[in-house]
């Protein structure tokens, strides 16, 4: 039963990581890139982190506003961030930072290796 738990955890992390990686690759390869300007900071969490609220103009001329997933312990003196989005879904844009963009799928794939190793050993 314990081995089954390792298999399910490993497969779950691998599938979730692969799906997230696939979506990020699609966005990276097919997405539109545009500069976004910081219009505010949203405090979140018990230990407060400030997430930039970024406004940008899509290719079709429409204005959008997004809040970054990545936060900072203090408000940095930054007035712009790069934004990446699919032209068919500009409201689902992301603030582009190589670390925050690629870390989650790669960490999930790396984490999946542990339980799978324990299952197959």
Q: Give the distance, in angstroms, between the CA of residue 57 and the centroid of all CA atoms in the same chain.
A: 20
Q: What is the value of pTM for the model shown?
A: 0.79
Number of domains in the chain: 1
pLDDT tens per residue across span 70-121: 888 988 888 999 999 999 999 999 999 888 889 999 999 999 999 888 888 8
Supply the range of the domain harboring residue 13.
2-120
């Amino acid at each position: 039963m314990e081995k089954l738990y390792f298999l399910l955890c490993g497969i779950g992390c691998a599938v979730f990581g692969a799906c997230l990686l696939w979506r990020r690759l699609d966005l990276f390869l097919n997405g539109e890139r545009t500069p976004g300007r910081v219009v505010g900071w949203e405090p979140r969490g018990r230990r407060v982190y400030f997430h930039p609220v970024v406004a940008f103009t899509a290719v079709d001329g429409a204005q959008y506003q997004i809040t970054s997933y990545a936060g900072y312990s203090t408000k940095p003196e930054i007035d712009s961030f790069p934004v990446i989005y699919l032209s068919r879904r500009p409201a689902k844009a992301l603030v582009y930072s190589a670390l925050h963009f690629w870390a989650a799928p790669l960490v999930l794939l790396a984490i999946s290796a542990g339980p799978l190793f324990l299952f197959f050993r």
